[in-house]
Amino acid sequence: MKLNLLRFVYNGILTGMPIMSYNAITKTTLHVPFTIRPQSTYINYKLTKQETCDLNEYIHNYDSTMEIVPIKMLSQEKEASPYLSINVYNCSSPIFFNNNQDITRLEVNTYIKKWNKITETYDYGTLILDYVSNELSMDPIHIFKQKEDVRFSQSSIDCISVKDEIDLHLKTIPWHHHDDKQVKSHIHDDLISYSDAIFYKNGIYDKLYYDSSLVKASIETPIISEYSNFYYRGIVFYKPEHIFYFIHPICFVGGMWDNVFSLPP
């Protein structure tokens, strides 16, 4: 998507906002509050060298300055690894204008560094490779993306997208339904810091602001009761390294397309 067109669209959005807060002259970033509902789930696959190479090649079709980097996902991990993560969640926000109905969204993410021509340093963040939502969505790749078939509940995840080459079916049992004690775990600081900037494939990013609901989040590992391989962009992922879900809601404020006016042509 051409940068000038994205800026035109963004100015149009700002024009419709309260003039004291946002307008097309000041180009102030639009900030949107949203809440992720309990049981937001991460399914994480360690990438092989070949998988990393294949995904980097896909990324470079959009932005050659991005590269997958290794991170630590959980607090007990000793070494960083390149990861592909499926993040699926239900969320709500007053900006959706959908009668306060939750929206389901499944993201295929990885973790990257991107060369910043202005600062001549690397920026780091999460990269949304592709996503599927059950409602009309807006992003700087498609502008508007049509809703697709994705279903998420406390016990199952189902998603098939022919366009984005995503195929996932998973059934789980939450850990708290069992009497066994689970080893306590927390998300690693890497995952938190890589959430500061949520990149799209063309280099535009959302600036993410969070509070203790993420930093001190409680997570659990569900028991997999039924699993099929995950298919994405011609790659078959057979077994996740780990799966975890957030027990409580997580509150965010997102700075939409935060660098759309500062990104070099």
In this prediction, residue 15 carries a pLDDT of 66
CB 224 within 8 A of CB 179: no
Do the bridges between strand 121-133 and strand 197-199 make them parallel or antiparallel, or are there none, so unpaired?
A: parallel
The residue among 265 and 221 whose pLDDT is bigger is 221
Q: Would the pTM of this model clear 0.75, i.e. be above it? A: yes
d(CA 52, CA 70): 10
The residue among 118 and 199 whose pLDDT is bigger is 199
The string of pLDDT tens digits covering residues 126-147 is 999 999 999 988 899 999 899 9
- Which residue reads 């807060």 in tokens? 21
Q: Return the CA Rg of the chain.
A: 18
The string of pLDDT tens digits covering residues 42-66 is 999 999 999 999 999 999 999 999 9
226 has which bridge partners? 171
For 194, the token pair is 């890589």
For 232, the token pair is 């994405």
Q: Mean pLDDT in the chain?
A: 88
Q: Measuring CA to CA, how many Å separate 28 from each of 20, 23, 31, 41, 260? A: 11, 7, 9, 32, 11
Secondary structure element (H or E) that encloses residue 3, with its range:
helix 3-15
Q: Where are the domains of the chain?
A: 3-256
In this prediction, residue 184 carries a pLDDT of 66
Averaged pLDDT for residues 63-80? 97
In this prediction, residue 208 carries a pLDDT of 96
Q: Based on the number of CB atoms within 10 Å of its own CB, is 209 exposed (0-12), middle (13-18) or buried (19 or more)?
A: middle
